Chain A
């Protein structure tokens, strides 16, 4: 079973703060890394699909970077807003499989 770790488990920030969290995964056999945003009582929504070492993706105030050699990805949120409150999940399938195992997620609460 692929070991995916996300940190921190939960985070409270004030509106306007910038924040970041980490997804760690075994670097061997890397294939791709997915980030999802999951609001309470809704379905997860895709944020980014990252495939190349050094990849950087951006969507509005949210961006992500990928380091496949050391096995981690960072997700950044600039100027957090209350609507950013959600659980952020990562899933890194390994080469030769489409078995998407998710980390436990980082639960972000942005306080107004």
Chain B
């Protein structure tokens, strides 16, 4: 099993450009999450999904969009990149049930200049 796979690993964007961060998991987990790492602030939840076709906002959703057309994939879309979106983005998934931990991908480092 590959677990949670994120692509790309690194990306540099110009202000106003758009891109999609890819996340896929092969563990048949229902729930998936996108977080961003803010310096000194830990992890902030952007969006999450409890199943195909169902998504909901987290703490910092502005400037992002998500979709969940399959159980495996949960892409994160940035439409108009801004310098404030420079961050490391982590995708995570979890098997339904309180005794399960989150499984994280290796992260995507995004720089917007």
Say yes or no: is B23 at the interface (Cβ < 8 Å to chain A): no
Point out the residues of chain B lying under 8 angstroms from A45, CB to CB: 104
B84-113 interface with A by 8 A CB criterion: 90, 92, 94, 96, 98-107
Closest residue on chain B to residue A33 by CB atoms: B98
Say yes or no: is A46 at the interface (Cβ < 8 Å to chain B): yes
Q: Is the interface of A mostly helix, strand, loop or mixed?
A: loop
Within 8 Å by CB of A87, from B42, B90, B101, lies B42
State the 4 A-B residue pairs at the shortest beta-carbon distance, nearest first. A46-B101, A43-B104, A32-B98, A104-B42
Point out the residues of chain A lying under 8 angstroms from B42, CB to CB: 87, 89, 102-105
Instruction: Flag if B100 contacts A99 (CB, 8 Å).
Output: no
Within 8 Å by CB of A34, from B41, B58, B96, B102, lies B102
A90 to chain B, nearest CB (A): 10
Other 15 A-B pairs with CB < 8 A, given A36-B101, A45-B104, A100-B102: A1-B59, A32-B99, A36-B102, A42-B106, A43-B105, A44-B43, A44-B104, A46-B102, A49-B99, A49-B101, A98-B50, A99-B56, A102-B42, A104-B40, A104-B42
Point out the residues of chain B lying under 8 angstroms from A49, CB to CB: 98-101
B48 to chain A, nearest CB (A): 6
Say yes or no: is B33 at the interface (Cβ < 8 Å to chain A): yes
Q: List 14 A-B contacts (CB under 8 A).
A: A34-B102, A43-B107, A44-B43, A44-B90, A44-B102, A46-B102, A87-B42, A89-B42, A89-B43, A98-B31, A98-B96, A100-B48, A102-B42, A104-B40
How big is chain B's contact interface, by range?
20 to 34
Best-buried of B40, B42, B56 by chain A (most CB within 10 Å)? B42
B31-48 interface with A by 8 A CB criterion: 31, 33, 35, 40-45, 48
